[in-house]
Amino acid sequence: MNQIARELWDWVKTFVIVIVIVLVVRTFFFANYMVHGESMMPTIENGERLIINKIGYEFTNPDRFDLIVFHATEESDYIKRVIGLPGDHIKYEDDTLYINGEAYEEEYLTPYRSTYENGPFTNDFTLEEVTGFSEVPEGKVFVLGDNRQNSMDSRQIGFVDMSEIVGKANIRYWPVNEFTIIK
């Protein structure tokens, strides 16, 4: 009987340790995120599931074109693409992104611009027109959804404070046939 009790105790300890490790990893390092809405289409579709790296931005700041999840309101998180970093001047003209006066090719949009027939894929704007600021303030980022015609992003909600960023989208794991490591 003593042997059975010891064996049972070993199993209980192992189970508790596994549960603690899973809770620590989910709480501090990675999170599961389900996409709601069409603002990142066609890059990310409604209903897809992602793994979010929560720890990376504790040591570094977001990079331009990272896909980030952030607290948009008390009730909901958004996923968008970082376009402007602190100190950047942003302008869109003739469907071309200009950052600090330099044109950027948004390769992730190229396959979809050709299918959009209702004018420019991204309407012209300047950072000052949509936010009232001539450059992205310190501690904030300017974000856009990839579905530029149907996205609630920094053009409407303003800058995203870096303290509101949950993490970077690293992996799309659902649906299984769309499994991708996000660059």
Which one, of 79, 65, 33, 73, lies nearest residue 157 by Cα? 73
Q: Is residue 136 within 8 Å of residue 90, measured between CB atoms?
A: yes
d(C-alpha 82, C-alpha 62), whole Å: 8
d(C-alpha 81, C-alpha 86), whole Å: 15
Q: Within 10 Å of residue 87's Cβ, how many Cβ atoms?
A: 10
Which one, of 82, 114, 116, lies nearest residue 99 by Cα? 82
Residue type, 17: I
Residue type, 16: V
Catalytic residue status for 154: no
Q: Which of 80, 140, 151, 168 is catalytic?
A: 80
Catalytic residue status for 39: yes
d(C-alpha 18, C-alpha 107), whole Å: 42
Q: Two tokens at 1?
A: 């009987």
Query: Catalytic amino acids?
Result: 39, 80
